[in-house]
Amino acid sequence: MKGSIVKEMFEFMWKRKKLWMLPIILILLLIAMLIVLTQGTAVAPFIYTLF
């Protein structure tokens, strides 16, 4: 069931020729993972200065 959301989103982008959305989604996911994984560490102040 988890993979079904990702599969549906990819099928939507493929059928509607919206593949330009893929890099945007990947960048947002990477930023979210970076913030979650570095929360509470010594790296956190440096990340906030980037934004």
Give the model confidence (pLDDT) of 7-39 as tens digits.
888 888 888 888 888 888 889 888 888 878 777
What band does 51 get if pLDDT is binned at 50, 70 and 90? low
More confident position, 51 or 18: 18
Between CA 11 and CA 24 the distance in angstroms is: 16
Torsion of the alpha carbons at 21, 7, 27 and 46, rounded to the nearest 10:
160
- pLDDT at position 2 over 80: no
What pLDDT, on the 0 to 100 scale, is given for residue 15?
A: 87
Contacts of 19 (CB under 8 A, 6+ apart): 13
What band does 40 get if pLDDT is binned at 50, 70 and 90? low
